[in-house]
């Protein structure tokens, strides 16, 4: 990455002793104070956290119940057990977990050419009508990490009556990968 692009993203050069620069997205995560957790590991051999078909990576639903981040709400129904703001913070934490899974699948996050689409399922009280605001926690994170050209994506936010383990949020994603 060039000096001007690094300045635009606010990313310091991290040449180190080896002279190898940190990737643009890894440096952006570092600048944002985001440490990636372990990637998602599903509890059964009959499914996987990610599948790549050609240049497309499909991420399985990442749910709040499998987050390591104890600072967010991992269980509960939005607008009954947890607030909209708490659910939005949980959606952000889920998106961080998704990035960790994506990195484990493709290696270098600079290979992401586009966050194509995310689908968020929000476990909420039947009268709750702001699922889109909850999912903004994830959308804003992808936009902030990958920038407007790569991070702006299509999405659907769906209210559901329940999710496994009473988790408030589950998000799946589709990503376009380059060489």
> Would you say residue 13 has pLDDT above 50?
no
pLDDT (tens digit per residue) in 116-172: 999 999 999 999 999 999 999 999 999 999 999 999 999 999 999 999 999 999 999
Interhelix angle 131-146/84-106, nearest 10 degrees:
40
Write the CATH number of the domain with boundaries 37-177. Answer: 3.30.1330.40
Dihedral angle sign, alpha carbons of residues 144, 48, 41, 131: positive
Domain boundaries, the chain: 1-33, 37-177
Provide the pLDDT for residue 43.
Answer: 85
pTM for the full model? 0.88
pLDDT (tens digit per residue) in 38-81: 999 988 899 999 999 999 999 999 999 999 999 999 999 999 99
């Amino acid at each position: 990455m060039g000096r001007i692009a690094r300045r635009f993203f606010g990313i310091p050069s991290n040449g180190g002793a080896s002279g190898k620069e940190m990737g643009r997205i890894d440096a952006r995560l570092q600048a944002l104070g985001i440490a990636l957790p372990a990637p998602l590991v599903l509890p059964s051999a009959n499914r996987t956290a990610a599948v790549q078909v050609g240049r497309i990576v499909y991420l399985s639903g990442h749910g709040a119940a499998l987050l390591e981040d104890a600072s967010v709400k991992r269980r509960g129904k939005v607008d009954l057990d947890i607030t909209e703001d708490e659910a939005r913070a949980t959606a952000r934490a889920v998106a961080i977990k998704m990035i960790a899974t994506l990195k484990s699948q493709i290696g270098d996050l600079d290979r992401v050419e586009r966050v194509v689409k995310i689908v968020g399922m929000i476990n909420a009280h039947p009268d709750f009508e702001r699922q889109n605001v909850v999912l903004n926690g994830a959308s804003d994170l992808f936009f902030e990490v990958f920038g407007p050209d790569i991070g702006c994506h299509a999405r659907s936010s769906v209210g559901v009556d329940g999710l496994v383990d009473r988790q408030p949020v589950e998000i799946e994603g589709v990503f376009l990968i380059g060489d």
